Amino acid sequence: MTKQLTPEEIVKSFKDEFKTKIKDTRIEKHIAGTKKNELIHIWMNVDRSVFKNVVKHLMTLEEYPHLAVTSGYDMGKTIKLVYHFSIYFGVRYREISLNITVELPKPNPTIETITDLIPGALITEQEKQEMLGIKVKGIPKDKRVFISDDFPKGIYPWRRDEAGPEKMIRNLHEVKK
Amino acid sequence: MNPEATTKTTYRLPIGPIHPALKEPVAFEFEIDGERIVDVDVSLGHIHRSIEWAGMRRNPIQNLYLAERICGICSYCHPMAFALAVERAAGIEVPERADYLRVIQAELERICSHLLWAGVAAHEIGFDSVLFLTWQIREKALDLTEYLTGNRVTKAITMIGGVRRDITKDMHPMIHETMNYFKDNFEKLRHVYLDDKTFKMRSQGVGILTKEDALKLCACGPTTRASGIKKDVRLDQPYFAFGDLDFDYVTPDVLTGEVNGDVYDRIIVRLLEVKQSIELIEQCLDQMPKGDIVSEPKIAKLLATLKKAKGEGIGRMEAPRGEVFHYVKLDGNEYPYCWKVRAPTYSNILPWMPMLRGEQIADIPIVAASTDPCMSCTNRVAIVDTDKKYELNKEELHRLSVEKTRRLMK
Amino acid sequence: MRFSMLSQVFSQMFKKPFTNKFPAKYIPSSTTKFLEDVGAGRAKTIPPVETPPNFRGKIQYDKEKCIGCKLCIKVCPTEAIEYKEKEKKIKIYLARCCFCSQCNDVCPTNCLSMGNEFLLADTDKYSKDLIVE
Amino acid sequence: MAKGLSKSFKKALWVYHCNTGSCNGCDIEIIAALCPRYDVERFGIKLVGSPRHADALLITGPVTRQMEKKVKRIYEQMPDPKAVICVGNCGNTGDVFYESYNLVGPIDNIIPVDVHVIGCPPRPEAIINAVAKAWVKLETLEAK
């Protein structure tokens, strides 16, 4: 196993390499059970331009980081994506969750794909494309995953603006008669 | 068309999305070369009920019961991971007794889910008597769930900040009696599943997922542990009271001493996990501290604090099929601003490609079922041929699978 | 052992069957006549598997205690509870209810409780006995 | 329901299960009804793999957009004396999923439903009770 860094060292290693591009990092320690063992979550904001290198740097810490999922939400003028990684699994109490937030401007919400580094990210990137309307550059299979093909094109269900699904909503309680 | 020009083309085999006896609809698209599968393409979304979108229009208490109906079999893990995420976002502390009660419910659900899967796997190979035997044992687990939570399947016992029902002293005899019933029958189940010649023939060397593939595709749960990777959220990042209990990773070499990541190893890992869950429940019962079971009993007050809460949190939990992941962002109004759900099967779909490549058509049911997918389907197969089109439905596909068993038995 | 399941199958033959024969052992020739007999007490149905103490079945509503505070409507995940303006009482549609008993916990005067009747099936989903008034 | 019923229709009611996007809580209760403890096989009820040999359709789940056409096709493929039993509140009124952009409504918007089973999920005995109600409805048709 690679040498295990403490959370502070991890954040420092990111900060040394990307300096100002990493903003408001924070380390959360949660306790659970009677023995009060700690769970560590690291949160950090990353600029879109260096996102791919951040993932490459993360691969140096752990050869195969586990990408759980990418969550995304519409902040009005920008779209925020949160990539949830977790590293150092395999040893008891040692896993650390690392959540990287990337902000995409709404006019052209594009981001590079990371499927060449982590092939497991394909489905979550496809889902972001169809749910938030972002464009993942270089995605190997550009196809809809969860929404059917006859779903109208320009509508993105998680958007809160005019591209939202307002027109499609059906309330199942309307009694037919 | 001169004969030399015709190269051998592969058939496209669409396995229709419609609804086999048990599983949810998902559509496969196989490239078949003769009997061998060349490539697999999966399209999901036939059960997309827009839960995350609906969750952003309801308050967190209502979301608990929305989260519970994401998957009927592991209907405890989703609301619990959601509750963990909201507690971490809003900074709510959970009393220690509630942590232990949550572990008991989690392990009881793991027993129910693994027994259900074992029965279905046997049914896929054509072993209905083993399905009935396994589900007969599972009925006892459902009785215990009903006794503790009031409903056989949807437990409705999670609450943000704790648990809704306590396990008092006079409930302990029923739990111990059920656990002993499982212990006596565990040997019978292990004997039927692991020593049976038919199971060995149909599952050894079939649907192999190499360790490297599993790591690259971020697979999770028993599917990765069967390939020898030590990845288990209960041990890596112990939530609830898993940090206080002593247990270890379950990998096939614990029992057989070697790991080859095929369907047989997945059966081993799941059966060993049932055994481990029984011990965990008993450890919890006698280590459970006194104390109250929820941090804020009055729901109206809890709703008020959640309304003012701001922040984001993630909830990770080890469901019977793998890691369940919830991300919640609260920003100070009644409804959560963002709620992302990731069911374990979400990341076990890509590993199907390396597993199914090179297998025969008759092996599709057992290999697809071996990752215990919460949405796999092998019901209707329409083999598109150049001139004639004929349909194989689950009956024939199942018969194909059973015939293969008989052919191997000769 | 070649077939480890054989020993199970044979030993099962001598055990008492595990089945709980719920309404009757086999189909009665005419179900309507059989149900009338049961109603009249001539015939007896075999009871279902008995439900544990606090089982979450059909909801019971104590009309007098209800003060019309609408907290249950706020917490119900399926919009199954309708508020009747004039008499300040509620009306629960069982066809929409998800039996989570969250309304029982939130009710200040706890006038809602979960019964243990679960044999609820009907040809019309909004029929009289599927709405708790 | 259908016309021209024979005596044997009730004795051997072959059942086809259709999951239109349910959380499979009701589906395992249907399978549990077939397993040793409730054993509906003693009533001649058997789960079949294709709608073409089925007499009754056990349908679960709020119908998603992609499944609507397929549910109609399944309903037409079933031979004529047929009964439709909608298991679980998701199919009756879309239980917790009462508001969505991808669901096309409770099942009786799409196909006529004969018996609604209330419960989330209904217990296996509630499904047996619903099948008994379907027989009563059949007998009233036979009498006509």
**pLDDT digit of tens for each residue in chain B (410 aa)?**
455 555 677 777 777 666 443 456 667 777 888 777 777 777 776 777 778 888 888 889 999 998 888 887 888 888 999 999 999 999 898 998 999 999 999 999 999 999 988 888 888 787 888 888 898 899 999 999 999 998 888 888 999 989 999 999 889 999 999 999 999 998 888 888 888 888 888 888 888 889 888 888 888 889 899 998 888 888 888 888 888 888 888 888 888 888 888 889 999 999 999 999 999 999 999 888 888 888 888 888 999 999 999 999 999 999 898 888 899 999 888 888 888 888 887 788 888 888 888 888 778 778 888 877 765 322 222 222 323 333 444 455 566 666 776 776 66
What is the DSSP code (8-state) at residue B361? G
Distance between CA atoms of residues B239 and B241, nearest Å: 6
Show me where the domains of chain C are located: 1-49, 51-133
Helix-helix angle B77-90:B60-68, to 10 degrees = 150
Q: Is residue B6 part of a domain?
A: no
pLDDT at D137 over 90: no
User: B12 or A117, which is more confident?
Assistant: A117
Chain D residues within 8 A (CB-CB) of chain B? Answer: 17-29, 31-32, 35-37, 47-50, 61-62, 64, 66-67, 70, 74, 90, 95-97, 99-103, 120-121, 123
**Angular region, B230: left φ>0, alpha ψ -120 to 50, beta rest:** beta
Task: List strands edge to edge, sheet with A22-32.
Answer: A22-32, A37-46, A96-105, A78-87, A66-74
Strands C131-132 and D14-19: unpaired
**Angular region, B80: left φ>0, alpha ψ -120 to 50, beta rest:** alpha
Check CB contact of D69 with chain A, cutoff 8 Å: no
pLDDT at A98 over 80: yes
Mean pLDDT per segment of 10 residues, for chain C of length 133 residues?
74 81 75 77 79 88 88 89 89 89 89 88 84 84
> If you average pLDDT over residues D10-21, what whole number do you get?
82
Q: What is the pTM of this model?
A: 0.89
Tens-place pLDDT, residues B102-155: 999 999 999 999 998 888 888 878 788 888 889 889 999 999 999 999 888 888
* B66: chain D residues, CB-CB within 8 Å: 96-97
- pLDDT recorded at residue B381: 24
- pLDDT recorded at residue B383: 27
Q: What is the CATH number of the domain that holds A85?
A: 3.30.460.80
pLDDT at A106 over 50: yes
Rounded mean pLDDT of chain B? 82
Q: Does the beta-carbon distance from D102 to A151 stay under 8 Å? A: yes
Q: Is residue A165 part of a domain?
A: no
Q: Is residue B104 part of a domain?
A: yes
Q: Write down how long chain D is.
A: 144
- pLDDT recorded at residue B377: 28
- pLDDT recorded at residue B378: 24
Distance between CA atoms of residues B93 and A68, nearest Å: 25
Q: Is residue B17 part of a domain?
A: yes
Q: Does the beta-carbon distance from A172 to D108 stay under 8 Å? A: no
What is the DSSP code (8-state) at residue D61? S
- pLDDT recorded at residue B385: 30
Query: Complex ipTM, two decimals?
Result: 0.91
CB B89 within 8 A of CB B311: yes
B203 and B147 together in one domain: yes
B227 and B265 together in one domain: yes
pLDDT at A152 over 50: yes
Rounded mean pLDDT of chain A? 84
Q: Mean pLDDT lowest for which of A24-38, A139-153, B160-174?
A: A139-153
Q: Is residue D5 part of a domain?
A: no
Total domain count, chain D = 1
Chain C nearest C-alpha distance from D116 (Å): 5
Q: Does the beta-carbon distance from D96 to B23 stay under 8 Å? A: no
* D11: chain C residues, CB-CB within 8 Å: 27
CB B76 within 8 A of CB B101: no
Tens-place pLDDT, residues D32-78: 888 888 888 888 888 888 888 888 899 988 888 878 888 898 899 98
% of chain A surpassing 70 pLDDT: 97
Q: Is residue D52 part of a domain?
A: yes
SS3 at position C81: strand
Total domain count, chain A = 1
Chain D nearest C-alpha distance from A171 (Å): 5
**Angular region, D93: left φ>0, alpha ψ -120 to 50, beta rest:** alpha
Check CB contact of D55 with chain C, cutoff 8 Å: no
Q: Is residue A41 part of a domain?
A: yes
pLDDT band at D102 (very low <50, low <70, confident <90, very high): confident
Q: What class does CATH assign to C51-133?
A: alpha beta
Q: Which residue on chain C is closest to B197 by alpha carbon?
A: C2
Distance between CA atoms of residues A27 and A38, nearest Å: 12
| Residue-number span of the structural domain to which A53 is assigned | 7-149
Q: Which residues pair with A137 in a beta bridge?
A: A112
| Residue-number span of the structural domain to which B190 is assigned | 51-346
Strands B162-163 and B158-159: antiparallel
- pLDDT recorded at residue B277: 93
B192 and B318 together in one domain: yes
Q: Is residue A95 part of a domain?
A: yes
Interface test with D, best of B50, B130, B153 (most D CBs within 10 A): B153
- Contacts of residue D62, Cβ cutoff 8 Å, sequence gap at least 6: A172, B49, D20, D21, D22, D90, D91, D94, D95, D97, D100, D103, D105, D106, D107
CB D66 within 8 A of CB B17: yes
CB A98 within 8 A of CB A81: no
Q: Which pair of tokens denotes residue B310?
A: 């701001």
- pLDDT recorded at residue B112: 92
Q: What is the CATH number of the domain that holds B368?
A: 3.30.390
- pLDDT recorded at residue D63: 86
Total domain count, chain B = 2
CB B67 within 8 A of CB B341: yes
Q: Does the beta-carbon distance from B289 to A34 stay under 8 Å? A: yes
SS3 at position B167: coil
Q: Is residue D4 part of a domain?
A: no
Distance between CA atoms of residues D34 and D16, nearest Å: 12
Q: Is residue D116 part of a domain?
A: yes
